């Protein structure tokens, strides 16, 4: 079995998330698997670096899949990659694009080998909406103190139990994660939150952002974030922000 790695970009607006589902064909994973399975006349499953939720976008999602050697007989890995690029370009809808295809090592796994991920959450912080990028950022006209949010973010850096920021109330696995960097900056009317860590829990970025926005609008003082972390109670943290502002930006191996 030959292993291939792909980098995918998608506008998640009209999809039910990354993960395939039995009840709908409107998932990113499902769309790509359908094309591969039809091409090679057998079931081809792909593994993604993580599961983005419904409405979440990706600039650099990574996935890998295996193709039986018999399907590529007589072709070099480079030739197969070019064929796959053409296949995706022809059959994927216009809001999904495979931007790179490479032959991968036998042991490469897009989820298990991740070293760190970067997500971006964007807020359009003006009285009027952003007409042209409304699908990719949240419109919130409230006045926000960026410095206070930056101070609050400092408490989240490092290795912590992020149970208070997990959207899965029945989570049985460890909720300990490491956040390497949080950057919050104003770019004109936009406030952009950039998070880099070794991994993130379900809805974690959206809940962390909601909590930081609460700090920015004066609901909490920055140091209250440390108390939220310590209590490990979801109800103590801020709201889960809407999906459209979130983009999986980069995955590093």
The pLDDT assigned to 72 comes to 83
The pLDDT assigned to 120 comes to 98
Buried/exposed 97-111: b ≥16 CB within 10 Å, e otherwise: ebeebeebeeebebe
| Cβ atoms of 238 and 214 closer than 8 Å | yes
Structure tokens at 54: 């419904």
The pLDDT assigned to 117 comes to 98
The pLDDT assigned to 8 comes to 98
Helix (H, G, I), strand (E, B) or coil at 215: helix
The pLDDT assigned to 127 comes to 97
Q: Indicate which residues carry an active-site annotation.
A: 53
Among residues 44, 61, 59, which one has the least CA distance to residue 7? 61
**CATH class of the domain comprising 2-103:** alpha beta
Report pTM. 0.95
Contacts (Cβ under 8 Å, ≥6 apart) of 139: 123, 124, 126, 129, 130
Q: Where are the domains of the chain?
A: 2-103, 116-252
**Cα–Cα distances in Å, from 155 out to 36, 162, 216, 221?**
44, 12, 15, 12
Per-residue DSSP letter, 237: S
User: How far is residue 119's CA from residue 178's CA, in Å, rounded to a whole number?
Assistant: 14
Provide the CATH number for the domain formed by 116-252 in this structure.
Answer: 3.30.70.660
How many other C-beta atoms lie within 10 A of the C-beta of residue 155? 18
**Low-confidence spans in the chain with pLDDT less than 70:** none
Helix (H, G, I), strand (E, B) or coil at 58: strand
The pLDDT assigned to 227 comes to 98
The pLDDT assigned to 122 comes to 98
The pLDDT assigned to 185 comes to 98
The DSSP annotation for 168-210 comes to -TT--S--EEEEEEEEEEEETTEEEEEEEES---TTHHHHHHH
How many other C-beta atoms lie within 10 A of the C-beta of residue 78? 11
């Amino acid at each position: 079995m030959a292993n291939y790695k792909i980098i995918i970009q998608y506008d998640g607006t009209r999809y039910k998330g990354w993960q395939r589902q039995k009840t709908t064909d409107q998932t990113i994973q499902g769309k790509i698997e359908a094309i591969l399975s039809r091409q090679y006349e057998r079931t081809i499953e792909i593994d993604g670096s993580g599961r983005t939720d419904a409405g979440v976008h990706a600039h650099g999602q990574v996935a890998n899949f295996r193709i039986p050697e018999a399907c590529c007989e007589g072709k070099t890995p480079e030739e197969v990659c070019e064929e796959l690029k053409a296949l995706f370009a022809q059959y994927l809808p216009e809001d999904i694009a495979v931007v790179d295809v490479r032959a991968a090592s036998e042991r490469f796994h897009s989820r298990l080998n991740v070293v760190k991920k970067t997500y971006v959450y964007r807020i359009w912080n003006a009285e009027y909406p952003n007409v042209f990028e409304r699908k990719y950022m949240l419109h919130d006209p409230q006045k926000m103190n960026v410095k206070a949010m930056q101070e609050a973010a400092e408490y989240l850096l490092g290795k912590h139990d992020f149970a208070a920021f997990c959207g899965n109330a029945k989570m049985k696995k460890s909720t300990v994660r490491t956040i390497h960097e949080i950057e919050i900056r104003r770019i004109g009317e936009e406030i952009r939150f950039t998070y880099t860590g070794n991994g993130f829990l379900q809805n974690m970025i959206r809940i962390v952002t909601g909590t930081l926005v609460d700090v920015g609008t004066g609901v909490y003082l920055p140091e209250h974030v440390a108390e939220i972390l310590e209590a490990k109670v979801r109800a103590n943290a801020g709201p889960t922000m809407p999906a459209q502002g979130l983009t999986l930006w980069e995955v590093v191996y």
